[in-house]
Amino acid sequence: MFDTLTDRFDAIFTRLRGRGRLGDAEVVEVLREIRVALLEADVNLAVARDLIERIRARCTGAELARYLTPAQQVIKVVNEELTATLGGEALKISYASKPPTVVLLAGLQGSGKTTASAKLARWFRQQGRHPYLIGADLQRPAAVEQLRVLGAEIGVGVFSEPTDPVAVARHGLLEAERLGRDVVIVDTAGRLAIDQELMDEVRCVSATVHPNYTFFVVDAMTGQDAVRTAEAFHQALQLDGIILTKVDGDARGGAALSVKQVVGRPIAFLSTGERVADFETFHPDRLASRILGMGDVLSLIEKAEREYDGETAGQAFERLQAGTFTLDDFLDQLRQLKKMGPLTGLLSLMPGVPKEMRDAKVDDRDVGKIEAIICSMTPLERSDPTVLDGARRLRIAHGSGTSPTEVNNLLRQFREMQKMMRGVGPMAKLAGGGRPGKPSKSSKGNRKKAKGGRVTPSSRGLGPAR
């Protein structure tokens, strides 16, 4: 979703990376570029200005650390400010001591309230709660019908009646209590913030059900207007959080940044797809990293810690550098990687992966083929692929159910990878294109690592691996 903003920052910082020092002129240029990037990402003008000012103050201030390159300094500052703007921690739902916990959803027409209601209900069920849906959108034709269909799909009861929204809410709440449901989600009709009558109506609904949480549902594609709308809703309803929808598009999500900043309430959930399961809690720090092109490294590392055997990875890396990485090592790593989930998802999480590759579809069936090919080799062949003549390749192709072309492809690409990775340390490239293997550079890299582990540098070193 934030790819385009990521690309912008990438472009700016790629240019910066070649420079030794960051002078005033550069700061001005970078800030201008960042401003354009933010505005093109639909970050609200006032919010962008505020953010730029804070970044300017810190970039020209005295707090620049000597051990970072200019690009890293700026990235660090921008990252921290973005994270601050997006809000500290993820929202934690606390449940009402006397159930049910009532959640009210409001927003503009077409922002995705009805779908979000159902997704939220499903999420609550996963948390072990017993949710209940109230369809108080009597405005849009068939909105209640939509909620019923979704409710049936996720196995959550839906209440509605053709009276008026306030009555529906009141009766629905009573029904939920009667059924012993502990979470009630109220879906309301979409409305314009300037439509006084409808705003009064949703205020009445809110006063009737006394929501513990009022969420503002906003489309990630919204432009400058997001802030005005959010302010108006906040005034009327006292929002507790934001649900950002349609995040699976390529909108740059500036609306998220702005609404969060102006309303001062956290983004609670992201709606990331068309299926009811596509719904997740929001992690501001991870998102800021993503905006900066650093990938969602934290998620990746969490996964890795769970699934990956760090020791073998370290050994494999050493062999990779030394050029003694064998097909056996490769198979080992591939299998570990497989445990972490579909490879397409992994690619998009990795920092420094170029855009074309991030979007590329990795066919997970290829993994199976590769496994089969390697498994059809003898131990000798695996450790020394040079012995593979035509007859052996044909045998492997037969044995693995593939074709000799595929075997050849794998071998060629494996060889190329070996060649590229030889001597490329994770830190060697990061210090601005330093020559790999130079001791001075690597010690610089180590210092950097010790200083707080910027992820970007190591990832930048991946560039040549392509």
Partner 1 sequence: MTLVIVLVALAVVLLASGGLVAGTRRHRRSPALPTDGAAPQPFTVPPVSAAPQPETSQVLGEQPGRPVLRDRLGRARGLLTGYFDQVRGRKGIDEATFEELEEALILADVGVTTTARVLGDLRAKLSTGVLSATDPPALLQALQDDLISMFDGDVGSLGFADGDGPTVWLFVGVNGVGKTTTIGKLALREVQAGRGVVLAAADTFRAAAGEQLESWAERAGARIVRGSDGADPSSVIFDAVQHAASRGAGLVLADTAGRLHTKVNLMEELRKVRRVAERPPGQLTEVLLVLDATTGQNGVVQARQFAEAVGVTGIVLTKLDGTAKGGVVLAIRSELGLPIKLVGVGEGLADLVPFDPAEFVSALFG
- Site membership for partner 1, residue 41 (CB under 8 A): yes
Q: Give dist(CA 116, CA 125) in Å, integer.
A: 14
Q: Is 248 in the site for partner 1 (CB under 8 A)?
A: yes
- How many other C-beta atoms can be found within 10 angstroms of the C-beta atom of residue 184? 29
By the 8 A CB rule, do 6 and 34 touch? no
Of the pair 65, 179, the CB lying nearest partner 1 is at 179
Q: How far is the CB of 293 from partner 1 (least distance, A)?
A: 14
- Picking from 275, 256, 251, the residue whose alpha carbon sits closest to that of residue 43 is 256
By CB under 8 A, the residues from 371 to 430 that bind partner 1 are 406, 409-410, 413-414, 417, 420-421, 424, 426-427
Site string for partner 1, 355-374 (x = CB under 8 A): --x--x-x---xx-xx----
Least CB distance from residue 367 to partner 1, whole Å?
6
Minimal distance, residue 60 CB to partner 1, in Å:
21
Residue 341 binds partner 1, judged by CB under 8 A: no
Whether the upstream peptide bond of residue 100 has omega within 30° of 0, thus cis, is yes
Q: Which residues, 158 to 217, sit near partner 1 by CB under 8 A?
A: 158-162, 179, 192-194
Residues 313, 345, 385, 433: which binds partner 1 (CB under 8 A)? 313
Q: Which of 373, 369, 368 is nearest to 394 (CA)?
A: 373
Binding-site member from 64, 68, 337, 372 for partner 1 (CB under 8 A)? 337
d(CA 421, CA 425): 8
Tokens in use for 399? Answer: 């044995």
A 10 A CB-CB count for 102 gives 24
Largest CA distance in the chain: 81
Q: Pick between residue 61 and residue 128 the one whose CB is nearest to partner 1.
A: 128
Nearer to partner 1 among residue 22 and residue 76 (C-beta) = 76
We find the least distance from the C-beta atom of residue 21 to partner 1, in angstroms, to be 27
Regarding 262 and contact with partner 1 (CB under 8 A), the answer is: no
Site for partner 1 (CB under 8 A): which residue of 63, 200, 274, 384? 274
User: Cβ(278)–Cβ(64) under 8 Å?
Assistant: no
Q: Does 150 bind partner 1 (CB under 8 A)?
A: yes
Q: Which residues pair with 267 in a beta bridge?
A: 242
Q: Determine which residue in the list 308, 383, 395, 442 makes contact with partner 1, applying CB under 8 A.
A: 308
Closest CA to 324 of 316, 335, 336, 334: 316
Q: Which is nearer to partner 1, 63 or 250 (CB)?
A: 250
Total Cβ atoms within 10 A of residue 274: 10
Among 17, 56, 382, 449, binds partner 1 (CB under 8 A): 449
Give kind and range of the element (H or E) at residue 342: none
d(C-alpha 312, C-alpha 318), whole Å: 10
Q: Which of residues 47-86 bind partner 1 (CB under 8 A)?
A: none
Q: How many CB atoms lie within 10 A of CB 206?
A: 21
| Binding residues with partner 1: total (CB under 8 A) | 121
Which CB, 20 or 89, lies closer to partner 1? Answer: 89
Upper half-sphere CA count for residue 245 (Cβ side, 13 Å): 25
3-state secondary structure of 91: coil
Near partner 1 by CB under 8 A, which window of 9-17, 37-45, 62-70, 434-442? 37-45
| Residue 451 φ then ψ, to 5° | -80, 0
Among 53, 63, 200, 225, binds partner 1 (CB under 8 A): 225
Q: Please report, as residue ranges, which positions from 83 to 142 form the binding site for partner 1 (by CB under 8 A).
A: 89-90, 92, 108-112, 125-128, 130, 138-142
